[in-house]
Amino acid sequence: AKRLIDVLDKQWAMNQDERFPGLDQIADYSDLLLRMCASAKQLVAHDPIVLEVESPLYVMGDIHGSFRDLHFYVKNLITFGHMAYTPCKLLFLGDYVDRGEASVEVAALVLALKCLAPKGVYLLRGNHETAECNANVRTYGASSFVVQCQRRFGPELGSQVHQAFNDVFAQMPLIAVVDDAIFCVHGGIPKPNENESFVGCMNRLRSPTFPRFDNLTLLEEDSLFIQTCKKTAMGLLWSDPAPANAQLTPQGFGDNPQRGDEIYSWGKPALDTFLVETGYQFIIRAHEVKQQGLRLCQSGKVVTVFTSSAYCGGDNAAGAIYIANRRLRMVSCLTHVQRPEMAEAAPGWQAGAPQANGGAVEADHAQDDMDDFNEWL
């Protein structure tokens, strides 16, 4: 893992080209990746499905193959280039691959960091950490993870590397709870089964019998238990907050047509019930691009963080969240500027405070959002 990071650092320092042309000259690059994946698989499988993590830590959202953004944050957050000297943990919320040009290198770097600091780096699974997404050439074309693997290593070895990464992804946790107060996930809150409470749903996720799936597609031969668990995992990875005008069930859930027929959205009634029953106070999630890399919604109880700037040719910033001393500080940066500023969720901080590059944290209900944050302090 250490040599792999050194190789990536050296190649990036040469020309900062996310295509990494110099890696073609590294004869054992594929072997480094395969051996690192084998080690990482054991480590992430040892983490529970529901992580319990203590602050201080930084939280990062979707990276989607943007090595520039990942490298920028890693180099600025890791003290003296080593997690051993870094007082803060790093929590990634998934979607490391697809879309961006450097999916292989992004996945390699986060897994290498996990190998070097198993108790300092935590990796959640996103919806793109499934073969249904990252091998979907029809949807993602040349930017799909499988195509990037095959382009780098050829069809046969590239498929082997792609499978090795997916073997690691299948073992990743789905949820992290920070300081017993902040529920972190890639997509959204779970949807309980009929006659099941949110507490019961969380207990089911914490059970050692909850499976880790290679594939989340529902199959006819799946047992009722497996189907139920797959649906729960799908909701955690794929769901979104419902728009204000959405039609919701009495429990507060609605359709999510942009994501698919099997995917739900969750409105404020479902969120409020979830927070009351579980005792959590905030949700931090990823899964949706935001102009400043961050967005507050659902009356300030939900923060969306997205850490891939210029996503799909856009002009959005890359965000991150710092949690310490019962405060949340939000960072928003366009990496070519490389001068982030921080907005603090603390008394006196206002939504719309200056961010890197003169932007502002987006909020649906600015004053309500800040009041809710201040209650946690």
Q: What is the per-residue pLDDT for 85?
A: 86
Rounded CA separation 331/65 (Å)? 20
Q: Identify whether 21 is preceded by a cis peptide bond (ω within 30 of 0).
A: no
Asked whether residue 138 is assigned to any structural domain, the reply reads: yes
Q: What is the per-residue pLDDT for 80?
A: 87
- Split into its structural domains, the chain has a count of 1
Res. 340 pLDDT band, cuts 50 70 90: low
Asked whether residue 340 is assigned to any structural domain, the reply reads: no
Give the tens place of pLDDT for each residue, 168-205: 999 999 999 999 999 999 999 999 999 999 999 999 99
Asked whether residue 338 is assigned to any structural domain, the reply reads: no
Asked whether residue 88 is assigned to any structural domain, the reply reads: yes
Q: What is the per-residue pLDDT for 208?
A: 95
Beta partners for residue 245, in sequence order: none
Asked whether residue 357 is assigned to any structural domain, the reply reads: no
Query: Which of the pair, 245 or 43, is modelled with greater confidence?
Result: 43
* Domain CATH for 243: 3.60.21.10
Indicate if the pLDDT at residue 352 is higher than 80: no
82 is catalytic: no
What are the DSSP E strand ranges found in 291-345? 294-297, 302-305, 318-324, 327-333, 341-345
367 close to 301: Cβ distance less than 8 angstroms: no
Res. 355 pLDDT band, cuts 50 70 90: very low
Indicate if the pLDDT at residue 33 is higher than 50: yes
Separation in Å, CA 47 to CA 43, 70, 137, 183? 7, 23, 31, 16
Q: Catalytic pick from 71, 128, 162, 186? A: 128
Q: Which domain holds residue 275?
A: 1-333
Question: Maximum CA pair distance of the chain?
Answer: 59
Pairing of strands 282-285, 302-305: parallel
Q: What is the per-residue pLDDT for 336?
A: 58
230 close to 218: Cβ distance less than 8 angstroms: yes
**331, 314, 201: which is closest to 266 by C-alpha?**
201
Among 187-191, 235-239, 365-369, which stretch is predicted with the lowest mean pLDDT?
365-369
Mean pLDDT, rounded, for 274-280? 98
- What whole-number percentage of the chain has pLDDT above 70? 89
Write out the two tokens for 8.
Answer: 């990536």
Q: What is the per-residue pLDDT for 366?
A: 38
Asked whether residue 65 is assigned to any structural domain, the reply reads: yes
Asked whether residue 43 is assigned to any structural domain, the reply reads: yes
Give the tens place of pLDDT for each residue, 55-75: 999 999 999 999 999 999 999
145 close to 128: Cβ distance less than 8 angstroms: yes
Specify the 3-state DSSP secondary structure of 238.
helix
Indicate if the pLDDT at residue 31 is higher than 60: yes
Give the tens place of pLDDT for each residue, 63-112: 999 999 999 999 999 998 888 889 999 999 999 999 999 999 999 999 99
Q: What is the per-residue pLDDT for 299?
A: 83
Indicate if the pLDDT at residue 306 is higher than 50: yes
Asked whether residue 344 is assigned to any structural domain, the reply reads: no
